[in-house]
Structure 1
Amino acid sequence: MAGTPGSSLGAAAAADAPRHAAAPETPEWQGDFTPYAVGDPGRAVSRVRPAYVTAYPQRPDTILDGIVVDGPDGVPSATVRAASVRGLSHRHYARVRQDDYALRVTADGRYLVMCVADGVSSGEHSHLAAWWAAHDGTDELRRLLAHTRPDDLPWPSFLAWVADLIVKQAGEHVDGVGSDPREVARHMATALTYAVMELEGEERAVHLMTVGDTSGWILGHDGDWRPQQAVKNADVDIHSSAVSALPVLSATPRPVRTSVAPGEALVLMTDGIGDPLGNGSGAVGRFLASSWGEPPADLEFAAQVGFARRSFDDDRTAVAIWPAHP
């Protein structure tokens, strides 16, 4: 006889029926963050109290970008991460962040124009020189590229234009500064690297111009760091274009033409990262290669730029570009 709902047989059958597990409760939040350190972070990272800079309340401690840039066909062409972080020394002494960067895309969508600029710390107003060199300089390069191929860019006259701009702006913004570039350099000066990268094709041509000890690198598929100029304080058989910081040019730097392929990254950096990176073979090189093999989240990139390592307390700025696979 078949069991009825009220019978003991029916109750036993119900007990044997498969039961569905309750759906896991969705957490109210997710994520975690631990500051990055490479080797011994030193004591300063935990002891420095980031001081407010009264004279420059409009200049942030940290700036960052995380964007995808389209090529001339409207298809995503490159992923960009950029960050500039005030160093521990400037945080401790209530000095403004003197590094800067800028990103521009030409009107025809063919080129990405970039700059990292490192204001010379001995000049009280060097952050202004870095700002003008980065932002006005990339604007001028963008204008030049409207009618000039990257191979034909007039780098010497362009750098002279940037130097003249710094001298002129210094006279308008800083009391008691004359028109002699060497006098201006005592108040403000900046090292810098400009880059122009093609936004179409598989192997992307890159044109670099470096003044001073900023640098450009290719991070390869296997995590190797390939410097595009002589490595600071190392014997590297690559032409050095290091010159005095703008607005003073003690030599004529030469442009570097290189290329970056999908799976690689072009990285521009100030010496706040370049100094601990060295030639890329040490712990910092392995850390950044592991972190930047693919584009990280923008906030994560800024945290990686600001990694702690004993005795390295300068401002840090990096711009990294990963070409898209065609």
Structure 2
Amino acid sequence: MVDVPGPEFEPTPPRVAGGTCPDTECDGWSTPEVTLRSASVRGERHRYYRQPRQDTTRAVVHEGTGTVVFAVADGLSSATAAAVGAAEACQAAVRALYTQLDARQVDHEAVVRQTAESLHRQAAAMAPQSRADDLLATTLIAGTARPGADGIEISLFRVGDSSAWVLDSARGTFHPLFDVKTDGDVVATAVAALPAVPEKLEQRAGTLVAGQVLLVGTDGFGDPLGDGDGQVGALFAEHLAAPPSPLWLAHLLDFSRETFDDDRTLLALWPRSVSR
């Protein structure tokens, strides 16, 4: 519970139509250089209305370089099979990035194009008469975290309003890597989404060092986080100073707060020098 909680009720099972996935998923592991934790939970609105979780996250390690390849996607509520779209986008993006690492040449724009093509193929297989945008529209944020001489070199891109932050563990502050989706008090309503390919792709790069944590999440996490100065920011700054268990991250992410009832997904990466 954070501040005023939402209503209490027993979640209902999601309908099979539109894709299926567990209410909650979590994962966690370490390489010699980084520790990863991730979790994705169904929002209260979807639990109440028998809708599936429409967020997904995936992460793998590229064996040749020790690079973590990751993706987070948030299927649009307007898409009839949003859960399928998010899952397909994550799998396609991770697969494309992994293959590029094999070839030692990473091209984010090519990853976006290949992911969009995968969504079109998936839509054609599911419902040949339907538009892929209507069936599988999804946001996507994906990238790599490669061990380097000065820290973990991160490189990522996004389509839509999912985002990423660097948490300064010592100060408990969150530094957004992408522009926030609000402009003053006006919230943007138009969300860029795959399989539409943007003319200009948002991309960021940097180095993650000891005392910092990379956070990649959907707007179900980003909206209540805000600028990180409130109660949600304080909660996650305290519990993510060091890697929690995967189950505890899922528990944290499933906090109850009035009006914030969307699916929530968060992937976090710590340099191993700060793991304990």
TM over 0.5: yes
Deviation at residue 58 of structure 1 after TM alignment: 5.4
Where in structure 2 are the equivalents of 1:45-60 lying within 5 Å? 46-47=8-9, 49-55=10-16, 59-60=21-22
Is the contact made by 2:69 and 2:94 (CA closer than 8 Å) also made in structure 1? Answer: yes
Residue 165, structure 1, aligned to residue 126, structure 2: no
Q: Which residue type is aligned with residue 55 of structure 1?
A: V
Counterpart Cα distance in 2 of 1:42 and 1:315: 14
Instruction: Please say if residues 212 and 270 of structure 2, whose CA atoms lie closer than 8 Å, have aligned partners that are also in contact.
Output: yes
Corresponding position of 1:80: 36
Residue 200 of structure 1 deviates from its aligned partner by: 4.3
Mapped pair 1:101 → 2:63 = no
Q: Quick one: which amino acid aligns to residue 28 of structure 2?
A: G
Give the aligned partner of residue 187 of structure 2: none
* Aligned residue type for 2:140: L
Q: Equivalents in 2 of 1:272, 1:94: separation in Å?
A: 18
1:164-243 equivalences under 5 Å are 164-174=117-127, 176-177=129-130, 183-221=131-169, 222-234=171-183
Q: Deviations over 1:195-244 (max 9, x none)?
A: 20013444211001011000011001311101001012156xxxxxx961
- Describe the superposition over 1:281-300 as per-residue Cα deviations: whole angstroms up to 9, x where unpaired: 22211111111111111111
Q: Kindly report which structure 2 residues correspond to 1:136-175, keeping only aligned pairs within 5 A, or say none.
A: 136-149=92-105, 153-174=106-127
CA distance in 2, matches of 1:243, 1:59: 24
**Which consecutive residues of structure 1, in runs of 5 or more, have no partner in the other structure?**
1-36, 70-75, 178-182, 236-241
Distance 2:75 2:101 in 1: 26
Give structure 1 regions of 4+ aligned residues with deviation exceeding 6 angstroms.
none
Work out the CA distance in 1 between the residues paired with 2:200 and 2:124: 25
CA contact 2:15–2:51 (8 Å) conserved in 1: no
- TM norm structure 2: 0.91
In structure 2, distance between residues paired with 1:58 and 1:185: 19
Q: How does 1:60-79 map to 2 (within 5 A)?
A: 60-69=22-31, 76-79=32-35
Separation in 2, partners of 1:297, 1:100? 19
Partner of 2:230: 282
User: Contact conserved, 2:14 with 2:20, CA < 8 A, in 1?
Assistant: no
Considering Cα pairs closer than 8 Å and 6+ residues apart, tell me whether 1 or 2 has the greater RCO.
2
Q: Secondary structure of the equivalent of 2:99?
A: helix
Note if contact 1:243-1:250 (Cα within 8 Å) is conserved in structure 2: no
- What root-mean-square deviation, in Å, do the aligned CA atoms of Structure 1 and Structure 2 show? 1.8
SS of 2:259's partner is: coil
Alignment partner of 1:251 is 2:199:
yes
Number of corresponding residues: 267
C-alpha displacement of 1:169: 0.9
Contact 1:116 1:134 in 2 (8 A): yes
- Aligned-pair CA distance for 1:147: 1.6
Is this contact kept in 1: 2:161–2:192, CA < 8 A? no
Between structure 1 and structure 2, the one with the greater Rg is 1
Identity %: 33
**TM-score with structure 1 length normalisation?**
0.78
Contact kept in structure 2, 1:214 and 1:270, CA below 8 Å: yes
Distance in 1 (CA, whole Å) between partners of 2:149 and 2:267 is: 21
